[in-house]
Amino acid sequence: MYQNTFLSVLSPAVASGNIALQFQTYNAQPNNTFTVTVTGIQAGATEQTIAYTIATQASSYFGNTGILFNGKLPTILDPVCGVFQTISTDHVTNFFSLAQFGITTTLNQTGAYLKLGERPVYTTIPAASAYGPINNQGFQLCGGGDMTQDEMADILAEASADVAAILNNNVVAAFYVYEFTTQMTNALRFPNRPVQYFWNPYTLRPTIMAMATQVATFDLNSRYEVDQESGWITFRFAQDLLFNYEPFDWNNQWRDAYIAGNYHIPTELKTAVLRWIWVIQNSFTTIKSVRDGNTAIEYSIDKNIEKRNILGPLRKYMQ
């Protein structure tokens, strides 16, 4: 089991200073608690600059302390490894680990607004404020008055999570693990796309064979290629007839680690988030009719219809 956590930087730095992130693993052997301190952030630094700085310095820390994930996956016979990797897309930093983990911001001297979550936040607070009115979104509370920065961050996160869940795609670049049991006729395709990078996969023989031979994994003799956009894995099978252990053999456990997603958040996705916020705020406040007393209320805004209208241009990102 692996985990992705996203840190979204939602506003620029208003002061120079450091950011400290505390990590804690929960099921690694052994568990570990450590703090990554990101230094050198200057006042006025953009959200993108801050996110890149966090990813770069965190990666250096992981490498210097021997916990950087290098693409090698443990077998099901091995303990869970508390190794980490990180990558950034625009204002979003992705943290990945083979272990379950938590992140806490213990220091933020920069004044930049940071949002941690299971999904990325697709647009920043300044960008949302600038382009919101164009998309019928003024970021005002139902009872009147403007939203605070905390409230804007929360609703941007909620709308982004909704959009990501509907697309079944985080869209931004992130690390993933692909694993399944082969059944001779499987067609192999990475579930997250586009595929930006992948490490050499390995196949685990059926457990009883692995235990009997004490050889848990074997290299693929087959040559293979991956189509970046579709994620399909194409094989040219090995020519030797004996002991070639082709990937489609019965009950082999295929495992691979890879990076998928975009290194830039598309504008149409940011627009969809702003329009979806309007649906969230208005879908249960605009009543069209009431029938049979109060038992049947028809609302003017149909979320399913709005979902099709708003997310229609994003079909190419659906997984």
Domain ranges of the chain: 1-118, 122-173+267-319, 175-260
The predicted structure's pLDDT at residue 133: 72
Cα 92 from Cα 119, distance rounded (Å):
10
The predicted structure's pLDDT at residue 61: 98
Cα 40 from Cα 58, distance rounded (Å):
13
The predicted structure's pLDDT at residue 215: 47
The predicted structure's pLDDT at residue 129: 87
pLDDT tens string 96-121: 999 999 999 999 999 999 999 999 99
Nearest to 66 by CA among 85, 83, 87, 53: 83
CATH number of the domain at 1-118, out of 3.40.1620, 3.40.50, 1.20.120, 2.60.40?
A: 2.60.40
Which ranges of the chain have pLDDT less than 50?
212, 214-216, 285-290, 297-300
Cα 245 from Cα 202, distance rounded (Å):
11
Cα 235 from Cα 163, distance rounded (Å):
34
Alpha-carbon separation of residue 303 from 167, 172, 307 (angstroms):
16, 25, 6
Q: Which amino acid is at 236?
A: R
Cα 163 from Cα 100, distance rounded (Å):
24
3-state DSSP of the chain:
CCEEEEEEECCCCCCCEEEEEEEEECCCCCCCEEEEEEEEECCCCCHHHHHHHHHHHHHHHHHHCCCECCCCCCCCCCCCCCCEEEEEECCEEEEEECCCEEEEEEEECCCCCEEEECCCCCCCHHHHHHHCHHHCCCCECCCCCECCHHHHHHHHHHHHHHHHHHHCCCCECEEEEEEEECCCCCCCECCCCCEEEECCCEEECCHHHHHHHCCCEECCCCEEEECCCCCEEEEECCCCCCCCCCCCCCCCEEEEEEEECECCCCHHHHHHHHHHHHHHHHCCCCEEEEECCCCEEEECCCHHHHHHHHHHHHHHHCC
Q: Are 16 and 110 in contact (CB under 8 A)?
A: yes
